[in-house]
A and B are shown apart, each in its own frame.
Chain A
């Protein structure tokens, strides 16, 4: 029989039948169903197994607070574990499976844990698996992880797309129940930009789940009318299937929109989910309230649920867990469920009201002053034991039990900036309190106003107040007459007695566990949470926290406010990591920057390397070269023999202009720039305030008031930021203007003995670039290739006769093609970053490995550059005694004693015969390369008092790989130490 527990009525679309499966069995539901409602309609109450004891469980809620009915949806790479069946929208072909059971949901061998429960009390893991320590990672943890837990990931790459976006509004209304709808109507009619967001796929909140009317209309009809009007307003945006997950700084809210979770597969190119950042000038939290259970023995049997949820399933989804119901309540609202279920044709076997004065709500047995003390039916409820006020215990057959312990306002988002909720004794619940996130106010049940009329009125008033704070006038929307019953409740948290009474079914935390925690000294709420795991995992204790707190208060003899409050952190409900990543996944993880010669390099088959965001050519393999070293060695040798070309555009270029530009540079560089002549370039080193080297590069003076500074590729942004800080904050009176010009110019290094000859074919004849006219460290404006403006700098990183030539970027591709053509007669090569690195190590130039944030000018062999005649950033702290010891690290070169031996960067220097321990560490190797010039590995590194130890033999120890090499300390200048080649 299909849909045996489907009753009449509801808001489902019976004209649309939806086929789905659960654990391989096929079922039918209707459009508008959730997986949970459809399963209940089909007579399925058992939907999951509990975390620790593998107890059979069914849904206890009809919303996102669900702790029990966690399932895996879909299959293959789209498998999604830990999805709440209560909010999973049914779609054609939905394939759901239960989780955390073996071999099947009905017969789970790990349920043996339940019988062993005396061993699994609070703190069990901490107590049991302490010894032996080594067993934890290899033995205990894998076993526990297998036995306990939730669903499993597919392990495959998520094939879906996830989007991100930003929205702005005057008023963000969180929740589209009666309060939210009244607020949206009020603010929308006033013309404000409104976003109304609701996690449900249908707006209306509790109005969809109740039978009472608003004015002359049913609740859901009234909601539909309001929504139709809101949809017609261009200033109102309705975001269904959107959970506002957190309240962040400055009125920013995070929201997850589930665009395609209700479809088998998202349409091609469309996102499955979108993570929104909502900038709200004001926010009104209308998040409603969550019903809480009363703990009693075996209160986790499938078929037992919150009374309000039972009512929601019956009224909205026309689905019930069974036909014979018992209601257990401590308040009037529980009686509503009895009334609605009776009206829907269910047999109400009893209403068990713990209060002595229970209302006479309907034509069914009402037991005042009575409690449910046990539930029977392991895989599905079949009866409950009730203890009457006279002490008599009777067993009442039933297939479902609705429990109402009262309602907890959903204060979660009010706590996201450390606001502490306050205890409301009348409601016996926490209501928003303390300091709310700026701009946030609360209305409706979330504020503790639990009647429909109150929710409507407070929503409208909340919108008026929020707009008033923005200087906008609004009048409250005209509201229909609605139910306005007061809250009548006598707190009852748990029914004392034998056996285990569940407080947090998701984490299998019982009343006993809370008592044990108290006994063992974990009385602070925060300790209670961590010791027992109360309130952890996917539901974050939405149904459990307050009850747990109340039980702790009882056993400690304190009031609930004295015991403490638990507060909440984002996200409100689980958010897939994929949604946080958005489009930044896989190869789109971050943007890529391409150099001006990229197109040409790609045509040559260059091998690229990521340098920050830049993609740079690492080397250019030629036919027959099978190993990267062959390519790199060739590029190095050809450059040193004749000429090589390299794209160096990625180095930062900062235009420094203004009448104080020279003085500005004087203050940021350790060496003097005031007297640098126009048309000249100088190497500069800058320090951080703490005296450590920050960056280095060359700066060219193009005019009296115009310099171009270069920085390392890695530090381009950081140096620019630093200079802007200096300009704007340290010396605002200086006339200096800065702007990055890194990308405006395509810049190439042309290096090697034939560099000038090559360039003479490129540079227009009117410009004399002979050694006499354009000596080492000259710079100037030129034209190339028939009149294109360009800049030429005679600077060298390789140690060869070298230039850097720059043209406007759009011509960068043309220039490299022209230079390669012009270089053919010289056997010119284009070299990549590897060859660049080899040549700079051969020349002994420091780079990022040496400018690593822990090194000083002295360490780098440039201590003498720090001018004593002027003030500059970092010079004072660079004089600290500790940085100027005789045994300070010096940058020196290293060669293996045996020419064929390897060197590994990162190796540490230890004296021969000394033990390889930190205490004997004398320095470390920073950069290594194979020098084709020397036919040996070479390295640069820092060695204590290294400059005075040339010729000494040390061990370069690499404990990571268990290797070591004997090295000789040498000058860091392996090639042309006198620098003669630069000047020819």
Chain B
């Protein structure tokens, strides 16, 4: 194992957790991510390989789905993010590429994103002050790209009305965390 020590997106040794009113904001730092894009003309083969590797079919637009190890989030036409536990899938892109071969282009994204989970009673009030998507109507299994405070984000509904994950490019982690806290305080 490398002697280099990783840090979280907020620049600390351990992920951050804040509870403001009834909302808890938790930095998520234990997920490996890779983007998966099916190659042109390989749709069928890709779906088959993906189902074998991930144990689930690639979800439709606006959706995400979770299998045993992997979760897949739709991120664009013929493109998904695959998530898996960092502890077991540190080199996730290599693992996925081995499974999908030339049916897909795979790019490591683990370090490219920060993620915060929002949970608690007032989470709906927080979400409607952050993102233009109708989070109140999102069900578990829904995911979409949006923006929050001028940052591009991926909004993932884990539990309707109660638990969401917001992902943003990692360099924005401090600004996004600040915005989440400010909004949570304004509705607390």
Contact = CB atoms under 8 A, between A and B. Distances in A.
Interface of A: 161, 163-168, 269-271, 274, 277, 279, 583-584, 588, 590-595, 598-599, 614, 655, 657-660, 705-706, 728, 733-737, 739-746, 783-789, 807-815, 818
A594 B169 contact: no
Contacts of A734: 40
B41 A744 contact: no
Contact of A614 (B7, B136, B171): B171
Contacts of A658: 39-40, 105
B2 A810 contact: no
Given A271-B186, A785-B3, A657 B107 contact: yes
A741 B107 contact: yes
* A interface, over-half SS: mixed
A277 B128 CA distance: 10
B174 interface: yes
B185 interface: yes
A735 B110 CA distance: 25
A811 B137 CA distance: 38
A811 B40 contact: no
Contact of A591 (B39, B112, B175): B175
A166 B2 CA distance: 45
Which of A614, A705, A733, A743 is the most central at the interface, judged by chain B CB atoms within 10 Å of its CB? A743
Contact of A733 (B11, B40, B173): B40
Contacts of B170: 743, 809
Contacts, number: 160
Contacts of B8: 810
A166 B11 contact: no
A815 B128 contact: no
B60 interface: no
Contacts of A599: 7, 11
Interface stretch (B48-56, B64-72, B115-123, B176-184): B176-184
Contacts of A813: 5, 7, 11
B186 A270 contact: yes
B39 A737 contact: yes
A593 B105 contact: no
Contacts of A163: 129, 183, 186
Contacts of A595: 171
B111 A744 contact: yes
B159 interface: no
B78 to A, nearest CB: 8
Contact of B171 (A706, A739, A743): A743
Given A659-B39, A813-B7, A814-B5, A743 B134 contact: no
A786 B112 contact: no
Q: Which 4 A-B residue pairs are closest in the complex by CB-CB distance?
A: A809-B111, A814-B4, A591-B175, A657-B105
Contacts of B110: 744, 808-810
Interface in B35-94: 35, 37, 39-41, 77-79, 91
A742 B129 CA distance: 28
Contacts of A655: 105, 107
A11 B41 CA distance: 71
A156 to B, nearest CB: 22
A741 B107 CA distance: 8
7 contacts: A584-B149, A741-B108, A743-B111, A787-B1, A807-B4, A809-B111, A814-B4
Contacts of B79: 737, 739
Given A591-B172, A734-B40, A165 B11 contact: no
B99 to A, nearest CB: 16
B26 to A, nearest CB: 17
Contacts of A657: 37, 105, 107
B147 to A, nearest CB: 10
Contacts of A270: 185-186
Contact of A743 (B3, B40, B112): B112
A614 B91 CA distance: 28
A308 B60 CA distance: 58
Nearest to A167: B128
Interface in B145-179: 149-151, 169-176, 178-179
B40 A735 contact: yes
A788 to B, nearest CB: 4
A739 B107 contact: yes
B6 A811 contact: yes
B139 interface: no
A98 to B, nearest CB: 34
A168 B4 contact: no
A786 B188 contact: no
Given A733-B40, A788-B2, A810 B7 contact: yes
A810 B111 contact: yes
B49 to A, nearest CB: 15
B111 A745 contact: yes
B25 interface: no
Contacts of A167: 128
A735 B169 contact: no
